[in-house]
């Protein structure tokens, strides 16, 4: 099932990220879909907030992968934030170690996941943000199977 919400400001987009972040757990993979400037990084920053990341999260556009220390019920968890916009070919996902992020002690957020689709786990949450510039955003939470259902219901 898809869940649709509206965000009128960047703060609201961050807040939706925070709400999701508070419900994530190790092993979760979240694909962030949307045009340039849609708000994927803003949403990811909110996820970091919801997961207790204290260092500032910046866009991994040039570095491709950033990693942070998150907190989950008092234990540490890795938060891995990727931006695959600059990849030219799917195989490069393998070279940069995208799959190394799909482990039980990490939550993984991926901006521009399309090129690496074949390397992503099927059981991932997709968050699509529609709109850009000063437009309102529609945020769609889409999960392939029921493992996400109760968390999404709880959030929305
Ligand atoms: N409702 C909104 N939600 C999110 N961002 C918004 C909203 N309204 C305006 N903005 C602005 O849109 C921009 C979103 O930038 P952001 O870097 O998060 O996009 P992005 O999807 O990560 O882009 P890129 O593909 O370049 O990585 C910010 O400048 C933000 O202030
Ligand atoms: Mg971004």
Which residue segments constitute the domains of the chain, with CATH numbers given? 2-155 (3.40.50.300)
Confidence (pLDDT) at 32: 98
Tell me the residue length of the chain: 156
% of residues, the chain, pLDDT over 90 = 92
Could you read off the pLDDT of 30-54 as tens digits, one per residue?
A: 999 999 999 999 999 999 999 999 9
Q: What is the pLDDT of residues 119-145, one digit of tens each?
A: 999 999 999 999 999 999 999 999 987
Residue 68, token pair as written in the block: 């942070």
Quick one: which atom of ligand 1 is closest to the CA of 36? 25
Residue 15 has pLDDT above 80, yes or no: yes
Q: Looking at the predicted structure, is the pLDDT value of residue 72 above 90?
A: no
- Ligand 1 centre and the CA of 94: distance in Å? 28
- pTM for this model (two decimals): 0.97
Q: Is 11 exposed, middle or buried (0-12, 13-18, 19+ CB in 10 A)?
A: exposed
Average pLDDT over residues 100-104: 96
Instruction: Please give all residues whose beta carbon lies within 6 A of any atom in ligand 1, as ranges.
Output: 7-10, 12-13, 34, 36-42, 59, 61, 83, 111, 134, 137
Sheet with 65-72, side-by-side order of all strands:
2-7, 137-142, 125-130, 29-33, 106-111, 75-83, 65-72
8 A C-beta contact, residue 93 and residue 111? no
- The pick from 16, 31, 37 for probing ligand 1's pocket by mutation, whose C-beta has the most ligand atoms within 8 angstroms, reads 37
Atom of ligand 1 nearest to the CA of 136: 1
């Amino acid at each position: 099932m898809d869940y649709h919400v509206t965000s009128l400001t960047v703060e609201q987009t961050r807040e939706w990220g925070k709400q999701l972040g508070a419900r994530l757990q190790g092993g979760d993979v979240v694909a962030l879909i949307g045009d340039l400037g849609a708000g994927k990084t803003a949403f990811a920053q909110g996820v970091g907030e919801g997961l207790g990341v204290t260092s500032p999260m910046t866009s991994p556009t040039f570095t491709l992968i950033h990693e942070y220390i998150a907190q989950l019920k008092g234990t540490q968890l890795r938060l891995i934030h990727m931006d695959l916009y600059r990849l030219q070919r799917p195989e490069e996902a393998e070279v940069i170690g995208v799959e190394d992020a799909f482990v039980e002690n990490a939550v993984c957020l991926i901006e521009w996941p399309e090129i690496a689709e074949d390397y992503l786990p099927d059981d991932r949450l997709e968050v699509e943000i529609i709109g850009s510039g000063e437009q309102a955003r529609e945020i769609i939470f889409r999960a392939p199977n029921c493992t996400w259902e109760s968390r999404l219901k709880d959030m929305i």
